[in-house]
Amino acid sequence: MNTEELRDAARVAYNRELAKQNINTAIESRMTVNYGGGMFIVTQELIAFLHAWFGPNWKDWDGVIYMMDAYDVPVKVIPHELLYICQKRWWEVMNEFAAEYEEFTKIRNAKQL
């Protein structure tokens, strides 16, 4: 880097909050899955809801329920199947997020981008 480039790099600021929001947006966009012709957004609420069907009273239950997908289309759902798909996506995306977040914390200024 020559002097001019160094001076240029020094005057450029870095907004960590914006960088974090950029990562969050990327992560949220990945949290979608297809099932039964519908599309579901994987959230903690959806996982908890599906998991609730396997509570003490539902342990051996293997029936079918209807749920509205993200686009308000009713979809026939076997809860444990959708739960498995959601958990898998959650696992993949959040692991990636954790790795990316670790990289993100190392960036202290615009030169490191």
Partner 1 sequence: MPNNSKGCLIVAFDNENHIYFDMAVMAADRVAKHLKIPVTIITDRTDGDIGQHSRILVEKTGGNWRNDGSTWRNLIRTQLYDLSPYDRTLIIDGDYFLCTPNLLPHLHCSKDFIMTKQVYSPVNRRTETFKLGNTQIDMYWATVCIFNKCEESHRIFEMAKHVQEHYEYYSVIYEYRRVPIRNDFIFSVALHLMCGYGMKDYGFKNYPLINCDSLMDYERFEDDKLVYRYVSDKLYANSISGVDLHLMNKDQLQ
Q: Containing H/E element for 40?
A: strand 38-41
Pick one of 2, 3, 25, 57: the residue that binds partner 1 (CB under 8 A): 25
**Residue 18 in the binding site for partner 1 (CB under 8 A):** yes
Binding part of the chain for partner 1, among 14-22, 51-59, 60-68, 76-84 by CB under 8 A, reads 14-22
**Going residue by residue from 49 to 88, which x/- string records binding to partner 1, judged by CB under 8 A?**
--------------------xxx-x---------------
The 8-class DSSP code of residue 110 comes to G
What six digits make up the tokens of 7? 């001076």
Are the CB atoms for 33 and 86 separated by under 8 Å? yes
Query: Which residues face 67 on adjacent strands?
Result: 75
Query: Which C-beta is closer to partner 1: that of 38 or that of 79?
Result: 38
Query: Which residues face 75 on adjacent strands?
Result: 67
CB of 43 to partner 1, least distance (A): 10
